[in-house]
Amino acid sequence: MAELSYRDAVSRAIAQEMDRDPSVVLLGEDIGAAGGVFKATVGLLERFGPERVRDTPISEQAILGAAMGAAMTGLRPIAEIMFADFFAVCWDIVANQIAKSSYMTAGQVSFPLVIRSGNGGGLRFGAQHSQAVENWAMAIPGLKVVAPSNPADVIGLFAAAVRDPDPVMFFEAKGLYATKGEVPDGELVDTLGTAKVLRSGTDATIVALAAMVPRALAAAEVLAARGIDSTVVDVRSLVPLDTQTILREVSATGRMFTVEENPRLCGWGAELVSIVAEECFDDLDGPPLRITTPHIPLPSADALEDLAIPSVERIISTIERAMQS
């Protein structure tokens, strides 16, 4: 068992899969000699060489076009889009080409590729470099969508993504890169489409993703001291979505709160609320509530960004008010 940072876990995850399978290649802007803008690919160029770790021009369309072609011809590419906001530049390739082409060829062509990206706010990068866009990807048929919250899950879920036969969008929470966690030794391989119950309680179920998971756990500890015992579920994978685990835990407590970094309109929490309302309405003791970022461009000023993104304090106050009403 070793303690690794989230960013070092990314590097270990990529190295694990490149060691295992020579068809795995890595490409993106500054991922080679520079070790990545977030230092999540340090040492990979030296270890695997320039044939398998390729710096690209500053062109998101070129990166994903090359990755798509590589996947079609037998490789398993890992493509980095530096900031998740930049998917707006190359969304046609993601949403209309990579996501659809296996279906449109009746499975004659497969696309075993991973597109990884730094996602979300908290680092004062402003409105064009801080968006949480996992809900963009969740809305596109043909894509799998993963967003880990801790170093061990980074490695295990990344391995599952690389080995998957379908295209996977792998969102790395920029605000978690410096955080650390215990990671078992040896090869780690997890399963896509599985949520994890990180804390069990009797009064409320808090459902969170990526950078919001540590905040949900911290809020749950404070709430427990104040007499509200909460379950915390880490969604981990939006597509496939582990509805069985989420529905079971919501039914057990009768209350659900989602904590998400997405802007409020059309976030993933809205989809979960819809599913819960359809599948276990009679088990609810109150309306499911979403704790979200407002539907605004994210500000870069520290006080304003902290106010916009769900905080531990806002999670606590929202749940306390709801449970007392």
Helix (H) or strand (E) holding 167: none
Residue 282: CB partners within 8 Å, gap ≥ 6? none
Nearest by Cα to 322 from 294, 295, 285, 292:
285
Residues recorded for the chain = 325
Structure tokens at 81: 């889009």
Q: What type of residue sits at position 289?
A: L
Q: Distances from the Cα of 322 to the Cαs of 165, 256, 314, in angstroms?
A: 43, 10, 12
> Which is catalytic among the residues 76, 129, 144, 255?
129
DSSP string, 142-166: T-EEE---SHHHHHHHHHHHHHSSS
d(CA 149, CA 120): 12
Helix (H) or strand (E) holding 234: strand 230-234
d(CA 292, CA 315): 9
d(CA 146, CA 114): 10
Question: Backbone phi, then psi, for 114, in 5-degree steps?
Answer: -120, 130
My answer on whether omega of the bond before 240 falls inside 30° of 0, hence cis, is yes
d(CA 195, CA 214): 15
Residue position matching structure tokens 């999540």? 40
103, burial (CB in 10 Å: exposed 0-12, middle 13-18, buried 19+):
exposed
Do 310 and 215 form a contact (C-beta atoms < 8 A)?
yes
295 is catalytic: no
d(CA 56, CA 69): 15
Q: Which residues are catalytic?
A: 129
